[in-house]
Structure 1
């Protein structure tokens, strides 16, 4: 009887664990973004591709690389349609050359999604694109069509556009990026899901508008270092309304806002760090560096300015300032909200292992700064997304942010109001691209304009053509009634 009772308790605990636990379908090694498993072709070949909101094209390796012999054997797929036409893409780091093809793709972790045929790039050559030891074989672009791969007179459709056409309804997607499971583990994990806009009901969520539908371009209003008034933040909720009482905050800095959006500000899951304009990057890093010095933590300058790792024999429990990122709200042109990121977001774990030395096995825990200089552009890489759930509503044109049940203790506060137009003050009033307007639509528009111009030209030249084709008639002494009336009126 006792054994039976123990068995029932064990079975119940097991079922509760299975039913209550969440399945994560995104994984990645340190500094390599988040990858998802896909099946390509018929018969299906299992590969891993990065989920990338900073590009559009599904691009797959077709050859072995250094430290990675896995790739797509397209010759083994009976459903491949290889056009043989050359395409290419260039990223902020790296580039590739390849051919345009189409084949079937399926996501084993998303059984509710149908298998669809989609365009893809068969990568034949690359430069600084695949990192050594990377566990992924390609890229799943999730942005809009204008930032897809290009070729001569070619349009490369994205997987999301293919999916929308198959479902006959627009789809959104959500990224829940959890970061590392612990300070002694460098592998990060998360969840990717596709949402049907027609049936999904959204809970309380902070939304920022997509200013231009190429990348996911948003209005980043400021980047601030936030100092704690109280050291214990465990009692602070992850997402609050009008609550910043535990922080010293500053008003919206219009000059900084213009600097952040001078070129573009995008949300990019394919980029690791938060990229800031050079001057602002140095300002933020200097402030963080001074905070570290005042806390008696020894970190060399190479860590802050040259992307070098800092290592310790034990995992670090950081008690450093938080970072605050202000984003324009969709609710009002005079409203914004704030992403508040703890130091666990920007002090990234890049190595957690036992190192063998002459004195035996020595544990080594290494970290890198999750900030970098970006020239004139601003990029919110996945460092700014960990600990949050980020919903990309492509058709409605907004990105939603809410707290997460995994990852760093990141939170969202607001909304906050200002007295002037944020778009005008921060110079965010750029030309907004229609979501339905793609390269193909632009080509059709150009074609229609050409036809109309030709028709107008023919209409204007018609009298001349008619005179050339018709024989001249003898002169006549008759005049029209209108001419006679004018002559008569002049003579009186």
Structure 2
């Protein structure tokens, strides 16, 4: 009996090791997902946000009013500080610092070696670090053109340093699980790195959208709408437009107008942004429908919550019965195909406070929520609100982002692929895909070269008479020239 029980005990341990997933991303309510990093020798442990909306690894190197935890550069024996000033500006916040390099290691990424890479040591910031934030910097995962800048300075990225060290391109995956429970506002997830050759062998169906330009992770967002049965929504899907084209041309035109509006400036996937940010017109349409759905279900929520980012609070946690938000994305399989992310209300009705306050008067519960949508002027940003409950794989070298449902977090769904009768790139006036950043740089170099040649040719043409007169003048007897040079001059003169 004892031996049997012992066998069961060891079997339980083995199963637990096999199926218990290790998460390395954590964050407090309203903040993005942070990853633990080791910088310098001796190692200093810090937390950095994983940010697909920028490129630079930037960490605080000074004490702030709300936090005394920062990178102490004087304690690292491996730090190389160039002293050159660099800076960065984000949609919210700015910082100024110095360019340095040091050894960086992520202990939770077993397959990624310690590498020396560029680091921006932040010395001053404005509205960058949030009050009470548990992180000291951010890890930029985008392409080089959206890194920090300075005069005659190019700031490299950690990802590029890893690829150079391993001598192969790398992909990364974000599995964002959201909050742990209805009564806990802390969210968690997992960050993984892969050899690009391994991404094709990953299990499960992966829906892929192309990266249209390799700066940010810029993609084609075709529509953002309320996901309800057909004929019940005023903002229906592209699929319904296709099937009702002859009787609903005005709706078709509205879809095309919306699609162009969504991509007018740029549409990006940004894990460093919290909300789904939409152009003003699209934001108003989507929120109006959500508000109407809430009123229909007798849910009283003030307009300040829907339109002005104010929190709404209840004495108990809420289980939302609102419709999902559908996001149509261009597919890599064909120019006339797309697939749809269905984002449940548990994603965009974001919990910001979940606590029970015990005092002299007894226990007082407070569960507060904010809307995970915001107006963004002309740009579209799919923040982590659109990624929770999904596994999002970024294949940088191949130029695509893969989406599939996750085994943790909200029950987000993906449907498709859906077909359309014409090119969606043309319909929505999307930017044509660019194979690589180097293409743009080479194009600019060739353009400058061509301009220089044309300018030189014009200058030579204008100065030709003067040059000709100077060349045919008799040379002083004392000047020595070779016969070949003299012959050349004479040939040109004749």
CA contact (8 A) 2:57 2:137 kept: yes
Q: Equivalent of 1:383, from 373, 382, 385?
A: 385
1:332 — aligned with what?
334
Counterpart-to-counterpart distance in 2, 1:433 and 1:155: 22
Q: SS at 2:290's partner residue?
A: helix
Aligned-pair CA distance for 1:217? 0.7
Q: SS at 2:153's partner residue?
A: coil
Aligned-pair CA distance for 1:61? 0.1
Asked whether 1:26 is paired with 2:25, we answer yes
- 1:77-105, CA deviations, whole angstroms, 9 ceiling, x for partnerless residues? 11111111111000000000001111111
CA contact (8 A) 1:172 1:391 kept: yes
Q: SS at 1:288's partner residue?
A: helix
Aligned-pair CA distance for 1:471? 3.7
Asked whether 1:322 is paired with 2:321, we answer no
CA contact (8 A) 1:82 1:100 kept: yes
1:119 — aligned with what?
118
1:206 — aligned with what?
207
Aligned-pair CA distance for 1:6? 3.0
Q: SS at 1:270's partner residue?
A: coil
Counterpart-to-counterpart distance in 2, 1:44 and 1:454: 55
When residues 158 and 448 of structure 1 are mapped into structure 2, their CA distance, relative to the original with a 3 A threshold, is farther
Counterpart-to-counterpart distance in 1, 2:185 and 2:438: 40
CA contact (8 A) 2:53 2:141 kept: yes
Aligned-pair CA distance for 1:52? 0.2
When residues 428 and 171 of structure 1 are mapped into structure 2, their CA distance, relative to the original with a 3 A threshold, is same
Q: SS at 2:96's partner residue?
A: strand
2:174 — aligned with what?
175
CA contact (8 A) 1:146 1:438 kept: no
Aligned-pair CA distance for 1:455? 7.5
Asked whether 1:396 is paired with 2:398, we answer yes
2:243 — aligned with what?
none
CA contact (8 A) 2:171 2:199 kept: no
When residues 454 and 183 of structure 1 are mapped into structure 2, their CA distance, relative to the original with a 3 A threshold, is same
Counterpart-to-counterpart distance in 1, 2:446 and 2:163: 22
Aligned-pair CA distance for 1:363? 2.0
Q: Normalized per residue, which structure has more helix?
A: 2
1:224 — aligned with what?
225
Aligned length: 455
CA contact (8 A) 1:387 1:409 kept: yes
Q: How does 1:392-431 map to 2 (within 5 A)?
A: 392-430=394-432
2:282 — aligned with what?
280
Asked whether 1:255 is paired with 2:254, we answer no
Aligned-pair CA distance for 1:445? 5.6
Aligned-pair CA distance for 1:451? 7.5
Aligned-pair CA distance for 1:467? 5.0
CA contact (8 A) 1:273 1:370 kept: yes
Aligned-pair CA distance for 1:465? 4.2
Asked whether 1:51 is paired with 2:53, we answer no
Counterpart-to-counterpart distance in 2, 1:443 and 1:324: 39
The normalised TM-score by structure 2 is: 0.86
2:248 — aligned with what?
none
1:313 — aligned with what?
315
Counterpart-to-counterpart distance in 1, 2:145 and 2:14: 47
Counterpart-to-counterpart distance in 1, 2:445 and 2:174: 34
Q: How does 1:67-466 map to 2 (within 5 A)?
A: 67-203=66-202, 204-227=205-228, 253-356=255-358, 359-430=361-432, 432=434, 434-437=436-439, 465=467
When residues 180 and 327 of structure 1 are mapped into structure 2, their CA distance, relative to the original with a 3 A threshold, is same
When residues 367 and 301 of structure 1 are mapped into structure 2, their CA distance, relative to the original with a 3 A threshold, is same
Q: SS at 2:168's partner residue?
A: coil
Aligned-pair CA distance for 1:14? 2.4
Counterpart-to-counterpart distance in 2, 1:96 and 1:15: 47
Which stretch has the larger CA shift, 43-52 or 198-207?
198-207
Counterpart-to-counterpart distance in 1, 2:38 and 2:446: 37
Counterpart-to-counterpart distance in 2, 1:199 and 1:288: 40
Q: SS at 1:436's partner residue?
A: helix
Aligned-pair CA distance for 1:273? 0.3
When residues 22 and 84 of structure 1 are mapped into structure 2, their CA distance, relative to the original with a 3 A threshold, is same
Q: RMSD of the TM alignment (CA)?
A: 2.7
Counterpart-to-counterpart distance in 1, 2:107 and 2:326: 37
Counterpart-to-counterpart distance in 2, 1:452 and 1:46: 53
Aligned-pair CA distance for 1:227? 2.4
- 1:167-209, CA deviations, whole angstroms, 9 ceiling, x for partnerless residues? 1211111111111121111111111111111344244311111
When residues 94 and 447 of structure 1 are mapped into structure 2, their CA distance, relative to the original with a 3 A threshold, is same
1:490 — aligned with what?
none
When residues 375 and 9 of structure 1 are mapped into structure 2, their CA distance, relative to the original with a 3 A threshold, is same
CA contact (8 A) 1:97 1:123 kept: yes
Aligned-pair CA distance for 1:373? 0.7
